[in-house]
Amino acid sequence: MNTGLNLVLETDCPGSPGYNKSVYYRQVKVGYTTGYELLPTRQNVLIYVNIYAPFVNLSRENTKFWKSTGFRIKGSLMTEIRISTESLRLI
């Protein structure tokens, strides 16, 4: 049984929904996805999320969730190369 706050998010652009994907707030893991399903209209997807009990107060009626994807490149060839980026999409 999931403790904390269970939410259902609806989106038309889920990206790669899945089970047990982390949910972050300011780069701190505050929850995870518990599942997803395609609506009968096939226009939107429901994403089920559980927010851990200590972070429940972060979620309000008007809270927006963003899909964050990104990449990091580290390496060196004579000099150090570091690239960090994230792209965001509103769910």
CB 45 within 8 A of CB 11: yes
Residue-range domain boundaries for the chain: 5-58+66-90
pLDDT digit string (tens) for 14-30? 676 778 988 888 888 99
CB 63 within 8 A of CB 5: no
Given its phi and psi angles, is residue 35 left (phi above 0), alpha (psi -120 to 50 degrees) or beta? Answer: left
pTM given for the model: 0.70
pLDDT digit string (tens) for 36-54? 999 999 889 999 999 999 9
